[in-house]
Structure 1
Amino acid sequence: MKFQRRSSEPVSLNLTPLIDVVFLLLIFFMVSTTFDQSSELDLQLPEAVNGQSSDQATSLKVEVPESGPIYLNGEAVEDLAQSLERFLEAETVPERVVVIADERARHGQVTQVLDALAGAGLSQVSFQTRYAP
């Protein structure tokens, strides 16, 4: 008995819907992703193994880079003492001050920052570091 062969069409896979879904997922993840920018300065923070996490919101940040001006809440300042006076006149006294000093910053510059903070009557000062497990 002789069977007649059926002519079969070649199987093809339509990839257009798959590509559409992949692009939609790509767009979704690009839009929903947030980036943490803790500081716009390139600071190398010193590492600390012992310490505690700082979950409280601070109202005053003083950044001391390796070189260049000191930053008060993200703005470069020439004279920290005068800038602190203006800040305290415009705002309420902050509960805490965080000093973010680059590990390569001069000790004298950090000491000047601490002196200006003490002169402004700010005594709740802490230092930010990187955690080194």
Structure 2
Amino acid sequence: MRLPREKPKRELINITPLIDVVFILLVFFMLAGSIEPEDAFAVTPTASSSDLRGDVQDLVILVGEEGEIAINDRSVPRDALEGEVRDILTGNPEVLIQLKPDSRAEAKDVIAIMEEIRNGGASYIVLLTVGAGQVAG
């Protein structure tokens, strides 16, 4: 007597745990990623061949094409810059000051602003530029 052979059952692979892990990773990277704050006005940084980069954004001072100044996201009059820097450094002496001038700004204006920042008590200023060969966007 011949018994009929049972057909092997196909086991279905449950991918629900895989999808859960992918979504958890997605949420983690969305929350852990950094979102760059918008500048107070548009600035096109100068190109540089230096390898140093200021990745920490404690304090960013923007210098516009016409010499306008903004600290982080608020505009500051030129004559108040030294006092503003002094106040910030009094509250947090370890703050990293980053200067981001527009590539069309006059060099003498940028140097004068750097002197005002130094007069405000800054001992170290990072000049933010775009690497040579990169396009500012």
Q: Using the TM superposition, give the Cα deviation of residue 113 of structure 1 relative to its aligned residue in structure 2, in angstroms.
A: 1.3
Alpha-carbon RMSD across the aligned residues, in angstroms, is 2.3
Q: Is the 8 A contact 1:65 1:105 kept in 2?
A: yes
Q: What TM-score comes out, normalization by structure 2 length?
A: 0.60
- Does residue 1:80 correspond to 2:81, yes or no? yes
How do 1:33-112 and structure 2 match up within 5 A? Answer: 36-55=36-55, 57-67=56-66, 69-78=68-77, 79-89=80-90, 91-112=91-112
Unaligned segments of structure 2, at least 5 residues: 1-29
Q: Using the TM superposition, give the Cα deviation of residue 104 of structure 1 relative to its aligned residue in structure 2, in angstroms.
A: 0.7
Name the % identity. Answer: 18
Unaligned segments of structure 1, at least 5 residues: 1-31
Q: Using the TM superposition, give the Cα deviation of residue 98 of structure 1 relative to its aligned residue in structure 2, in angstroms.
A: 0.7
Q: Using the TM superposition, give the Cα deviation of residue 100 of structure 1 relative to its aligned residue in structure 2, in angstroms.
A: 0.1
Q: Is the 8 A contact 1:66 1:106 kept in 2?
A: yes
> Whole-Å Cα distance in 2 between the matches of residues 65 and 102 of structure 1?
5
Q: Is the 8 A contact 1:59 1:96 kept in 2?
A: yes
Give CA deviations for 1:5-39 in whole Å, capped at 9, x if unaligned: xxxxxxxxxxxxxxxxxxxxxxxxxxx7x975553
Q: What TM-score comes out, normalization by structure 1 length?
A: 0.62
> Whole-Å Cα distance in 1 between the matches of residues 49 and 86 of structure 2?
35
Q: Structure 1 residues 117, 107: closer, same or farther in 2, change over 3 A?
A: same
> Whole-Å Cα distance in 1 between the matches of residues 89 and 35 of structure 2?
31
Give CA deviations for 1:29-59 in whole Å, capped at 9, x if unaligned: xxx7x9755534211111123322333x232
> Whole-Å Cα distance in 1 between the matches of residues 76 and 40 of structure 2?
15
Q: Structure 1 residues 87, 110: closer, same or farther in 2, change over 3 A?
A: same
State the secondary structure of the residue aligned to 2:86: helix
Q: Is the 8 A contact 2:61 2:69 kept in 1?
A: yes
> Whole-Å Cα distance in 2 between the matches of residues 104 and 84 of structure 1?
24
Q: Using the TM superposition, give the Cα deviation of residue 80 of structure 1 relative to its aligned residue in structure 2, in angstroms.
A: 0.6
Q: Is the 8 A contact 2:60 2:72 kept in 1?
A: yes
The aligned amino acid for 2:58 is S
